[in-house]
Each structure stands twice: as structure tokens, then as C-alpha cells.
Amino acid sequence: MDVGQELKSTPENGRTFLTMKFQREELLILTKTYPEPSTKYRETTCVAALTRSGEMRRIFPIPFRFMGGEEQFQKWEWISVAAKKANDDHRPESFKVDFDSHIKRIGEKIDTHHDWAQRKEWLEPHIMESFKALEPRRQTSQQTLGVLRVSRLLGLDITPVKETQWNEKELANLTREGLFDEPTEKRPLLDKLPFGFHYRYECETPNGVEAHRHKITDWEAGALYRHCMRSHGPCWQEPFRAKLEDEFRNKDLMFLMGTMHRFPDQWLIVGLIYPPKQKPSEQLSLL
């Protein structure tokens, strides 16, 4: 299918209508979530990004582990994709990608120079100082992605999951051949994370400090767990916490928050954003 071609769909009542066209646009990658089994795509991950005009995007399906190396993009990298508003996902930021047209890496990446100055420019319009401001905004504007600044990181909860292995249906999806991947024997089976990771944190509000707890689904957290397990075995929690707890307490920590498709009022930490804290001299210069 060519980019821009209109798709025809015929419902049960026999009517034929035209859907939205795929449009190619450039996106700045902010995060991707840890993969999950998918009935249609074998496995998939959700990616959050910004358009050139600063609008939030949630793009799927992205079978990231089965994409060619030339297509495997990184955070803070600009890519070009053909996408259209998702018909089966009413969240306004959710767009479906046309994989026939391929994801193209532009070769442009935003660096961390000057304490993340350019990255912060892109994030600033979306930053909220309180979690409790996110849900009222969703109820009025239906927005389901936002950047939340953390005033204080209280701690990291690590909790064993009830089922440490994929169930029969999930395993069947993961081991069959998907639409976008090569034969299954050429890709290792997706690891199921045996632990859930939750941040406890505080936000400052006009009514005082409020504490919250949310689950982390950022791919980086899952990848860090696997790395720490390989390098430290049973003692993996020490380096894991050293990164996500101790080191991040000294950052200007922000969470990219997103909601679940089936439960749009339930929020997750889909991305971790951790620029350095401003130096006291820099803060005074802004006054």
C-alpha cells in the first residue's frame, strides 16, 4: 500500500467508507515500553514521541526486537514514519504505523549539551508539577500523555509477580511467526520480567506535598534488570537500586506518564527522563 492511499472498509451492514490516510511525519523519540506478547504481531512495544510541532504521539505496533538494525531507533532521535490516527484507540495521541513504508532514521539526534538545554525546550510545554493535574486534564481534553516533574523520589518498590512464566496463550503468540519478523529460531524468546517496579514519589502542589506510587514500564528499567542479573546474579538489586534510586535522586527527575488503552484513567510511568539538577548559580540567574 502506498503512503497516503485511502483504505476502504466494509462493516457488517454492507456500508463502505473511507478511513484516514497514512501521512508521513517526523517524530522525536522519547521512550519505548518493555515489550508485551501480541496476538497479531507476536510481540509489540508502545513508543511515545513528539512531532516537529511539539504534539505528543503514541505510535504502535512497534515490534522493536524484530526490526532491522537500520530501523532500530534510539531515544532522542528523529525518525520518519507513515502513520494515521488509530481507529480502535480513542486516545488522541495514539497513531498506527504503516510498516510497509518502513521507519526511516533521519540521522538527527538531540544531545545533552548545556545540561539538556535543547531537550528541555521540547519537554517544557508538556511538564506538569503535580500528578493530580494530569487526570483533570485528561477528563477535559482527553490527553493521555504528559511529563511529570518529581519534587522528591521516596523509593523504589521491587515486588515479585504472581506468574513468572508466560501463560499458554502468551507463549503461543511469542513463539509463532509474526507479520514483521523472521523465523522464530533467529530471535530469542522475550524474557518475562519476574518483578514489578514501582516508584514512590512526591509532588509539590498549591495544597501541599502529595505522595504517589506508579508502575514503571520503561524498556530501560527492564533492560537494566536483565543486565544486573547477568553481571551480579542474586545480588542484582544493589546495582539496580544504585541506578534507579540513588543516582536518580540527584537528577531533575521527570516521568513520562501514559494511560492504559483499556483503562484510560490508570496511569503508568512509561518513560524516565533524568537531566542533571540545575546548579544554584543557574537557578539564581533565572530570578
Cα angle value 24/86/135 (rounded, 5°): 115
pTM: 0.88
Contact 93, 137 (CB under 8 A): no
- Residue 18 CB partners (closer than 8 Å, separation 6+): 6, 7, 8
User: Same domain for 168 and 29?
Assistant: no
For 214-251, b where at least 16 C-beta lie within 10 A, e where not — what string? bbbbbbbbbebbeebbeeeeeebbeebbebbeeebeee
Bridge-based pairing of strands 152-160 and 195-205 is antiparallel
Residues 225 and 127 in one domain: yes
What single-letter DSSP state applies at residue 33? Answer: B
In a domain, 8, yes or no: no
Domain check: are 132 and 270 in the same one? yes
Residue 99 sits in the same domain as residue 123: no
Among the three residues 109, 134, 158, which one is the final residue of a domain in this structure? 109
Q: Where does a domain end: 82, 109, 136?
A: 109
Asked if residue 72 is part of any domain, the answer here is yes
Classified as helix, coil or strand, 173 is helix
Contact 62, 48 (CB under 8 A): no
Domain housing 224: 113-285
The residue written with cell numbers 490527553 in the block is: 143
Nearest to 79 by CA among 145, 23, 29, 21: 29
103 shares its domain with 120: no
Cell reading at 274: 533524568
CA distances from 285 to 266, 279, 280 (A): 39, 10, 9
When divided into structural domains, the chain yields a total of: 2
* Residue pLDDT tens, the chain, 287 long: 344 444 444 444 444 334 578 999 999 999 999 999 988 888 989 999 999 999 999 999 898 988 888 889 999 999 999 999 998 898 999 999 997 888 999 999 999 999 999 999 999 999 998 998 898 899 899 999 999 999 999 999 999 999 999 999 999 999 887 555 555 446 789 999 999 999 999 998 888 899 999 999 999 999 999 999 999 999 999 999 999 999 999 999 999 999 998 888 899 999 999 999 877 555 544 44
